[in-house]
Amino acid sequence: MSTEGINPLLVVYAGIVCTLLSGAVSLLALRRHPDFLHFGSFLFLFFSGLASIVAGGWTVLANLTVTDHFPLGLPWLAWHLRIDPLSGFFLLLLGTLVLAISLYGPSYTREFGRGTAPQPLPPLGIFTALFVLGMQMLLLADDALVFMIFWEMMSLCGYFLVTYQHQHAANRQAAFLYLLLAHVGALVILLSFGVLAAFGEGLTFDQMRAAQLSPLWATIAFAGAFIGFGTKAGMVPFHVWLPDAHPVAPSHISALMSGAMIKMGIYGIVRLSYDLIGNVRWEWGVVVLIIGTASSLLGVLYALMQHDLKRLLAYHSIENIGIILMGLGLSMIFFGSGHPMLGTLGLVAALYHTLNHALFKGLLFLGAGAVLYRTHAHDLDHMGGLIHRMPVTAFLFLVGCVAISALPPFNGFVSEWLTFQTALQAPALSNGLLRTMIPIAAALLALTGALAAACFVKAFGIGFLGKARTRRVARAREVPIGMLGGMGLLATLCLLLGVFPSTVIEAMAPITQLLVHQALPSTAAQSWLWLTPISPRVASYSAPFVLAAIVVVLGLGYLFLKRGAVPARKVDAWDCGFGQLNQRMQYTSTAFSQPIRRVFSGVWKVEEQIDSLASAGPIPRLTSLHYSLHTQDWSWLKCYLPIGRLVLAAANRIGFIQTGNIHTYLKFSFATLLVFLWIVS
C-alpha cells in the first residue's frame, strides 16, 4: 500500500467491515430477536455510508490515488484494489444513498413483518448488505477478476432483493428477466476485458492501460463495454428489465437500484472508455449520443403512460440515463475531434447529472415508498388529496419532482443546462454532419425536459392534490420521523447542489484531470456566485441569485396578498348543476396523458377497450361503462419476444437427445470429445 494516501482506503475498509456487520446482524436475527434487524443492521449501514462519503470526498478533494493488494484467490493472482478521484466520486454517491436508506429503512421495513402474509426480515437485511458490499468493492477493484466477482455479487443480490416478495408471480418473472439480462451484459463485459487483457498481457488495470490497441480492437473493446455496462444502466434497447424490476423491489431497495446500481454501469463505461482504453474516438460519441437521445425521449414517453407510481419513476431512470449518455456522447465527439476543453465540459455535465439523478431519484422512490407505507396504493388513480394527510412527504416529493423536471434552483437544472451548453458548441466542429446532428439531439433533449415536467405535474397533481379516491387514502397520516429524515437529507442535497454548482464542479476537477488531463478553468471565473462553463462572454448562470429572486418574489407576493386581503368567504365550488363534486369527477392519470398519447401514438402499441352494459327494454339505457387502456413497448414485442420464441424453438429441436438411454448419452459424449480433441490438435 502506498503511504501517501493510506487513510482513504482504511476508511473504506472500515465501511466495508460495517457493511459486513450489517449482514451479520441480520443473519443472527434469523432465529431470534428479528426486531433487532430494524435498528442493528441499519445502524451499521449508516456507518458504512458515512465511511464511503468520507473516503470518497477526501479522495476527490485531495486528488489522491491509493493502491493496495491482497493475496486472495489463486496463489499467483492477487486481488488489486485502488481508490482514485473517479471511484471516490461514485463512493460518495453510493454512501449518500446508503446513509439516506439507513435512516429511512428501520420504520419502512417493519411493515414487511406484519399483516396477514408477513415476510421474513433477515433475508432482506442480509442481501441488502451484500448488495451494498458488491458496489463498494467493484468501485475499489483494480483488476478484472475482482471487478467481475463483485459485479456478479451485486447482480445476484439484486435478484434476491427484486424477488423478495416472491409469492407474486410478476415479481418472480421480473427478477428472472433482470438476472438474465444482467448475465448477458456480464458476458459482453468479459469480452471487453478479454481484449484489453490480451493486449496488455495481464488482468490488472495498469496492464490494460498500457495495452497498445489498434482502432479496430479499441472499438471492439469499447463496444463490449458500452453494451455490457449499458445493459446494467438500462439504456434503450436493453432497458426492458428495469421497469419490471425496480417497482417490485422494496422502495428503499428501488432507491438504491435506481440511484446507485445503474450508476455502476455509467462508472464502467467511463472507466473503460476514458481510463483503460483512452484515446476516445468521435465515432463512439455518435453512437453514444444517438442511444442516449433515444433513451431519454422514449423513457419519458413510456413514463407518461404509466399509472403505477413506482413504474413511472422506473421509466424516468431510463430517461435520465439517456441524458447522462448524451453528455458522454458529446464529450467523446469533442475529444475525438480535437476539442479537449469542450469534451471536458460534456464529461463534467454527464458526471454531475449522474450525481444529481442519484439524489432526486432516490428521494422520489423513498417518497413513493412513504405513500405505499401509509396507503398500500401503487396506482395514482387510487390516491389523491395526500397533501392534506401527509404534508411533509408531499413537500419533499414535490422537491424531487421539481429537481427531476430540471427547474431552478434545484440540481437537475444545472446538469441539464451544462449538457445544453456543450451541445451549443457544435459550430466549433468541422464535420458538417456532426454540426447538424448535435442541434437535433439538443432539441430532443428540450422536448424531453418539457415532457418530464408534464409527467411530474401528473404524478404530483393526481397523487397529492384534489380529493382522496379511497377510504384508506383519506385516513392516511404522516410517516415516522426516520423516513422523513432520509427523504429530507436527499431533498436538502438537491437544493445545495443546485445553488452552489460552481463549488461542486471545481471540486470535481481532479476527476477530469485523472481521466483526460483537463479541467474547466472558468467555472468560477466570476466568483462562486456565477457558473461560467465556457467563458463569461458565452454563458453564465447564478443559482444563488435565482434562489434569492424566487424567495423575494414569493415573500413580496405573500405580504401583498396578506395586506390587501379581505375576509375569505368559503362556498362550495361550482358544480355545473350536476350536484356535489366528488372524487370520481377528477382527472385520472390516463385522461391527463391522453393528448400526448394521441400525438405520439406510434411510440407504443396501444390497446383501448370500452365495455358497456345496457338495460333491456324498448329504450335501452346504459347501466355500466368500463374503459381499459394498455400500452406495450415495441422493443419488447419486436426484439425480445422473437428471440424468446427462437430459443424455445431451438430447445424443442434439440430435445430429441433426451432419450433416457445411457448408450445414446455415451455416444454423444464420445462424439463431443472427438470434436474437442480435433479442435485442440
Express each pLDDT in 126-178 by its tens digit.
999 999 999 999 999 999 999 999 999 999 999 999 999 888 888 899 999 99
Long-range contacts of 464-467 (CB under 8 A, 24+ apart): 464/383, 464/384, 464/385, 464/386, 464/387, 464/394, 464/397, 464/398, 465/384, 465/385, 465/387, 466/384, 466/385, 466/583, 466/586, 467/384, 467/385, 467/581, 467/582, 467/583, 467/586
Q: For residue 8, tell me if it sits in a domain.
A: yes
Whether the model pTM is above 0.85 = yes
Chain centroid to Cα 212, Å, comes to 34
1-40: per-residue pLDDT in tens?
444 445 788 899 899 999 988 888 887 776 666 666 667 8
List the one residue out of 149, 170, 221, 165 whose CA is nearest residue 191: 221
Residue 3 confidence (pLDDT): 42
Residue 522 confidence (pLDDT): 63
Which residue type does 177 have? L
The torsion angle over the Cα atoms of residues 116, 120, 124 and 130, rounded to 10 degrees, is -170
Residues of the chain with pLDDT under 70: 1-6, 30-38, 73-75, 115-117, 522-527, 564-568, 573, 575, 577-579, 617, 681
Q: For residue 1, tell me if it sits in a domain.
A: yes
Residue 115 confidence (pLDDT): 63
Q: For residue 114, tell me if it sits in a domain.
A: yes
Q: For residue 134, tell me if it sits in a domain.
A: yes
Range of the domain at 43: 1-142
Residue 639 confidence (pLDDT): 83
335-368: per-residue pLDDT in tens?
999 999 999 999 999 999 999 999 999 999 999 9
List the one residue out of 631, 590, 625 whose CA is nearest residue 611: 625
Q: Among 142, 164, 182, which residue terminates a domain?
A: 142
Q: For residue 211, tell me if it sits in a domain.
A: no
- 3-state helix, strand, coil split of the chain in percent (to 5) is 70, 5, 25
Interatomic CA distance for residues 402 and 670, integer angstroms: 66
Q: For residue 578, tell me if it sits in a domain.
A: no
Cell 453494451 -> residue: 227
Q: Among 74, 107, 142, which residue terminates a domain?
A: 142
CB 290 within 8 A of CB 336: no
Judged on CB neighbours under 10 Å (0-12, 13-18, 19+), 256 is buried
Residue 5 confidence (pLDDT): 44
Report how many domains make up the chain.
2
Q: For residue 22, tell me if it sits in a domain.
A: yes
Q: Among 127, 142, 157, which residue terminates a domain?
A: 142
Q: For residue 53, tell me if it sits in a domain.
A: yes
Interatomic CA distance for residues 418 and 327, integer angstroms: 9
